[in-house]
Every structure is written in structure tokens, then in C-alpha cells.
Amino acid sequence: MEEEENRTKLARIVASAVLLVVAVVVQRTVELPMWGYLLAYLVPYLVAGYDVLAEAWEGVREGDPFDEDFLMAIATIGALAIGFLPGSDPEFAEAVFVMLFFQVGELFEDIAEDRSERSISHLMDIRPDVATVVRDGAEKVVSPADVRVGETIVVRPGERVPLDGVVLEGETSLDTMALTGESMPRPAGVGDELLSGCVNVSGVVRARVTKSFGESTASKVLDLVENASESKSRSEAFITRFARVYTPVVVFAAVATALVPPLVSGDFAASFPTWLARALTFLVVSCPCALVISVPLTFFGGLGGASRRGILVKGSNYLEALAKAGVVVFDKTGTLTKGEFKVVSVVSAAQAGEKDVAPATAAPAGASAAAPAGAAAPAGASDELLHFAAHVESFSNHPIATALREAFSCLDDGCEVADVHEVAGKGVVGTVNGHVVAVGNELLMQERGVACASAHERGTIVHVASDDAYLGYVVIADEPKPDARKAVADIKAEGVRRTVMLTGDRASVAESVASELGIDEVHAELLPQDKVSEVERLISEKGEGETLAFVGDGINDAPVLARADIGIAMGALGSDAAIDAADVVLMDDEPSKIAVAIRVARRTLRIARQNTVFAIAVKVAVLVLAFFGLASMWLAVFADVGVMVLAVLNATRALR
């Protein structure tokens, strides 16, 4: 619909320009009375500006007339009227040109901002359409809205959890990516909470419903996006704010110029025509053409310059908001980190230190005996550890299993793997070449009576034991993006005074990443509604005139992207919902582009201010001359069209 309106406006501009050429030809070749020329120019004038006149009239009727539409209307009508004053030359073409230029600027503004209104229908995927509920001893498939609090639901592997609840029977792993943005599944057993929107990965579970469908987590995520979009802070267009002051001052000054001097002179009838002509010249000079064209063009150039750097800004108002960013808030996974889990280190029992493992720990055949703490373990110990871990995990599609397999490239070495079974929420146990191998967390080691090392490293710790003898552990982590640290440093160099990270990941991992990247503040283990609450708090604490920018990539980030003053989404790998809810999209997922976007925005705003100061200074000077009768219509045209041309040329610098 918006694209169709833009095409219609473009057609009107082209039609008006053609009709203007026809009117000029008529004026120069055909002898007509003044009103005949007026009619010839009224046609292109009304084609271009009928909606501006309508908006101006509506503002007058509603008691709020002083905006750019009103000033455009009165200035162009004044230009049309000058030709009927004794001794004055007609300025009909000027009036049409002014209205045409105004509409071109409005068109550019509309094109730049159309993309800011996107559908977020992709989010509907996280809210299931059906639920399996147990009634009268039988399972029934119903709408989630029909399930009552306290009823029991059944969730099978591969199904999305339809309602919030507490597990009554069974154990499983939950893919919480849709809510937390974290790709590492989380274990869930009896007594643990199930959140709607999660995907059941492995086991069948029965759960007691604790919240109605409308109050479920998935529903709240959707509602948060809608409500946040409505309450989103949007800066008014720069020129509109200026016009609210400029327009009434100019109008009242023109009226005063036409009436006060004749009244003071004592010969109103004789002097009024002279002062009325000056007042109308005053209005032509005051026409905000340079502002209403150059300022939108400057922002439009900034948008184009940013897009060439892989930064999509959905409107000029977002550029202005981005230029004032004083607080930048980051999501972690997929934003500052790669979102891909890799084995970052392999630590044998010897390297972990004898004090952290059981005294009876024995190494498997081929591995070296324990070494003193901190000593370098032989390659054989690490190789054997990875060998066992990768083979036991060879049949799993769990992210941990994938990372282990990728770290060990010789899975086709003929080893015999048998009796592999998952211990829900703890790990995997299997037999490799006759050795019973356990791969999992500390709970699995405790269950099998194996004393494991106390690891304090960033990432997920996977312990490995063979025949109940501790071998060591593997550290699996989501690595920061190569330019993440530089991104944070560059953002601070641009004048951003506070950087914050919000994540659904564990506190220890989040704090480690924040420390490594130089982020000032971190809040971990957050759900989407928690992130929105944190952003609300940060918005309330920001400085006067500052804006808050949030950078995220997942579906779970959509509500907070919409609530922030300026939402920045990682585009290439980010979810559709996050991209739709954001105001700025980094198309190549490089966080270092955030500083570039801020720099482009601030340069654009600086050029817009230069144009504003230049246009106002010239116009004020010519207005003073017009008041004393020292400014001819040619000088008035320069103060309008000439300043506009110079301002537009300056605006094109924003493209570079």
C-alpha cells in the first residue's frame, strides 16, 4: 500500500513538472490577461500540492496550523498573489517550483521510512496450534486455548511445548533457542519448569499446566512485541520541530510588515500596497524550501551511504536516534559470539591437578600416568580423551556431540561402539572397544562414583571417564566473533558512555565473555520479558538527550529490539522476527559495523545541522533587507532557490 502511494506521488510530481513546462510556454508565447496566466499555473500547482493545501487547512480547522504544510501553503499562495499587485512581476512559476521541490523531499522521506513498518508474523511459529491433554485417562489433541490450568499435557520429542507447566513424569532436553537465543539444549526432569515455545528434543514428558494459554511465555513474547512497538520512542522529524517555531514567527512577522508600517505612517491607503508587496516578498524569502528539501535529502544520503557499507537503516528518524546513542545493549549468542560451539581446550586429569581428582584415578591403556599440576600432558592423554568422547557421541545430534565429533577427525578408525544410551540431563554412557565410557556433566560423574576436576573455565565443561576412571574434561564454548572486541572499543571511541550485555546464558559464561570483550555491565540467565525489563530500567537511567540502542539477532530479541529507542539486528544470520522488529539491520553480521553506523548517523546529522544554520542565516539576512525594501524579488528567489541548491549540494556529501 505504501509503495503504491509513493508511485502515485511520483506520478503527480512528473505530471506537475510537465504541466509547469506547458504553462511557461503559454506565458511566453500567448498574450493573456493576468488571471489567464494564473489559471495556467494553477493546474500544475494544484496537481503537485493539493494534499499540502488540504493538510494546511485541516491544521487551521483543528487549531494547530503552524507546521511546514501551512507555511508552504501561505508562502506559495503569496507568490501567486504578488503578480496582481501594482508594479509587481508575476511569480507564478516560483510558486509551482516551491511546491514541486517540497513534494520531492516528502517523497524521499517516505521512501526512506517505508521499511520501518514490517510484519512480525514469523513470531507466530513459536506459539503451537495444538496441545495433547490427558482427560478421563485418554489423550486428546485440542487447541492450547482450551487447556485449563492444572490439567496434564503430554509433549513428545520434536513437539513444541504448548503451555507453561511443571514436569510430572519423564526426562528430556529442551531446545530453548526460540526464547533465550541459546543453542545449547537444557535438561528437564521431574519438578523442572517447561516454558511454552521450547522444543522437546529427546524424551516424552508429562507436565501439569501452570498458566493459561494467554498467560503463557510464548503468548507474552508476542504481546511484548506488539506493546513495545506502540510505546517505542520515535523522534519527531527534525524539520517539523523547527517549523513549529519558525512558521508562526514568519507568519506574524509578515502580517506585521503588511499592517504596522502603513498604520504608523498615517496614510494607510497610500502605503499599504507597498508594504503588502514587501510582506509577500517576505513570505517568498521565508519559504522553507532549502530546509524541507536539503534536510530529508541529507538523511536520505546518509541512508544510502550506510547501505553501501552493509548497514540497512529503516528511516531517517532512526538515523537521528542512532546519532544520539549513549547506551548500547548487546545480546550475546549470535551477536557478539559466533553461535557455533567448538572444542576450545582438552584438559587431561594430569593437567587438571591431582588434588582435584580421586587418588585411585587410573589412565586408560596407552595414556600416561598423572603429572603434577600445571605440567604439560602428553599428546596421548588428550587424544585418548577425545577419542572416547567423540565415539560415544557419534550417534547424537546434540550440539555438544557435534562439537566433539568435529574436534576428533578419525571416527572411521574401526573402533567398536555399543550400548550407547543417554542419561537425561547428565550425559551419555556407552562402550568403546570394551571400555565403558561416560561423557557428561558433574552429575553423571557423581552418579558413577567418579571424582572429577573442579573446572572454572568459560564454556560448557564435558567430563570423560573410562571404566569409572577419570580421564579429564573438554571445554566447549561459543567463541566471540573476530571483530567483537574491536566493535566494543570502537563504539566507546564514538562517545558511547555505557555498554551492557543481556543474555539467557549462564552467569559465569556471560561474565567471562563480557570481561574478554571489555563490556561494562552484564546481566545473565534472562528470559525475553526479563530483557525488556532490564532495557526499561536502562532507558530510565540514560542521560538527557541520549538514546538507547539494543543489538540482537534471535526471535527472543524481537520484543526488546522493538522497545529500545533504536533496535539493531544482525541480518545475515538473525531471525526474521528480529529483523522485522529492528530499526537497523547489519546485513553481514559484523558487530564492528555498529560503530560505523553511529559514525554515519552523526555525520549525517551534522550535515543536516549545517544546512539548517546556513539556510536560516541567509534567510534572516534577506528578510531584514526585504523589510526595508532593499531586497528585490531576485534576491528573494536566491534566498529560496539558491540556498536550496547549495544546501542540496552539501547534502550529497552524506552519500560519501
Could you tell me if residue 414 is left (phi over 0), alpha (psi between -120 and 50 degrees) or otherwise beta?
left
Amino acid identity of residue 610, one-letter, is Q
Parallel, antiparallel or unpaired: strands 152-155 and 131-135? antiparallel
Between the CA of residue 14 and those of 8, 100, 106, 114, what are the distances in Å? 10, 9, 14, 21
Convert 347-397 into a string of H (helix), E (strand) and C (coil): EEHHHHCHHHCCCCCCCCCCCCCCCCCCCCCCHHHHHHHHHHHHHHCCCCC
Grid cell at residue 159: 513437539
Are the CB atoms for 323 and 488 separated by under 8 Å? no
- Residue 152 CA to residue 206 CA, distance in Å, equals 7
- Residue 615 CA to residue 646 CA, distance in Å, equals 9
Parallel, antiparallel or unpaired: strands 566-570 and 460-466? unpaired
Residue 627: helix, strand or coil by DSSP? helix
331 is known as an active-site residue: yes
Grid cell at residue 338: 559466533
Grid cell at residue 356: 582435584
Q: Is 25 exposed, middle or buried (0-12, 13-18, 19+ CB in 10 A)?
A: exposed
CA 26-29-33 angle, 5° bins: 65
Are the CB atoms for 204 and 225 separated by under 8 Å? no
- Residue 568 CA to residue 553 CA, distance in Å, equals 8
Q: Which residue has the cell 561416560?
A: 438
Q: Which residue has the cell 494534499?
A: 51
- Residue 194 CA to residue 176 CA, distance in Å, equals 10
Are the CB atoms for 283 and 636 separated by under 8 Å? no
Q: Is 64 exposed, middle or buried (0-12, 13-18, 19+ CB in 10 A)?
A: exposed
Query: Which is nearest to 159 in space by CA: 186, 197, 122?
Result: 197
Between the CA of residue 535 and those of 329, 544, 551, 576, what are the distances in Å? 8, 16, 12, 21
Rg (CA), the chain: 35
Q: Which residue has the cell 547489519?
A: 586
- Residue 191 CA to residue 588 CA, distance in Å, equals 42
> N- to C-terminal Cα distance for the chain?
32
Catalytic residue, chosen from 69, 164, 175, 331, is: 331
Could you tell me if residue 471 is left (phi over 0), alpha (psi between -120 and 50 degrees) or otherwise beta?
alpha
Query: Which is nearest to 348 in space by CA: 453, 249, 456, 501?
Result: 453
Instruction: Kindly compute the dihedral angle of the four CA atoms of residues 21, 27, 33, 34, in this order, to the nearest 10 degrees.
Output: 60
CB atoms near residue 93 (< 10 Å): 18
Grid cell at residue 194: 517447561
- Residue 366 CA to residue 407 CA, distance in Å, equals 20
CB atoms near residue 638 (< 10 Å): 18
Grid cell at residue 267: 496614510
Which residues are catalytic, by number?
331
